[in-house]
Chain A
Amino acid sequence: MNRTRSYNEYYQLLLKQQESSLSLEEAALLKEGKTLFPALVEAEEQFAQQRKLLLQQKYAFKPFFTGRVIHRLRSIGEQQNFSLMYAFKRLAVPAFGVICIWLLSLFFVDGSLELDSIVGLADWDTVDEYTFGDWIN
């Protein structure tokens, strides 16, 4: 039994038609709708105009956009180099100072800068080895 469809039902088919292909039955229904509701024909034309209008839209950035991108890219590179140099100076200079002070204090305490002094074994004696061994056993 045929039932009377509302404008909205036909309009939904028209919307669907904008992006998907309709089945034969749906296409026939839409055709029927367009004869019943002239507003559907008008809407279809408006959709076509809208599509054309949107596709025509081409925007552009301000002139010399490419130059600005390259400039920004270069300044980022310089910034990174600068920050690496800055971090190196901030870390390396105090660390070098600390090492110098430590070596000086070592020299004043042990009187030499031999490897044994540096690793803290300047006062290590063979007697200590026996003591250490006894303590372990």
Chain B
Amino acid sequence: MKMGQGTSDSDLMLQIRAGDMDAFRALVEKYEGAVATTIIGMLGPCMEADDIGQEVFIRFYKAINTFRGDSSIKTYLTRIAINLSLNELKARKRRNIFNFFGKEEKEIAYPDYAWSPDAMENAALVQQALQRLQPNARAVIVLRMLEGYSTKETAKMLNLPMGTVLSRLARAQDKLRNILIELDQ
């Protein structure tokens, strides 16, 4: 049987647990878009994004026997992705402190991104705007507005009270609007 988008998550999980690498390959293909949107939304199009994306799926594979299915696979993967991205942002900050006298790390954009030329301008604009937000604010925007999770799911994923998520979202949306207006001029 050919596995792909049509195979249910529970079937995929059973096959992966039985050691079927093709099933794991199908799972990666199914969710790499969602993981990429979270990581690139958080970090921008940089060299580390791909490595962190790989790390997300490897951690998932290692924890496959402890995955109880309380949340969906997509939510679980997004949660790992957001945590690893936040860790990377902290590490980046530390590296920048130590590189105070040296060159600042620059983000390297992939030349072969799967963006259509029309979407390229908007994508670049959004990326620039997102990078100007604080990591905590960026995380709520990425989960709520890029990935389309509800505020309740966002709160659960970030381990935050609903009120905190709502206030962060309001502040972040306000700031993002101002940044987008500024960048558009």
Contacts and interface: CB of A to CB of B under 8 A. Distances in A.
A19 B58 contact: no
A54 B141 contact: yes
Contact of B146 (A47, A55, A60): A55
A69 interface: yes
Contacts of B61: 73
A60 B57 CA distance: 15
Interface string A34-76: 0000000001001100110111111111110110111011001
A73 B58 contact: yes
A22 to B, nearest CB: 13
Contacts, number: 96
Interface in B130-185: 141, 145-146, 148, 151, 166, 169-170, 173-174, 176-177, 180-181
A62 B25 contact: no
- Using C-beta atoms within 8 Å of the partner chain, give the interface range for chain B: 35 or more
Interface in B76-90: none
B48 to A, nearest CB: 12
Contacts of A69: 28, 53-54, 57-58
Nearest to A70: B25
Chain A interface SS verdict (over half): helix
A136 B145 CA distance: 82
Interface string A15-26: 110111000000
A16 B28 CA distance: 37
Contacts of B177: 43, 46-47, 50
The 4 closest A-B pairs by CB, nearest first: A59-B40, A60-B114, A54-B145, A15-B170
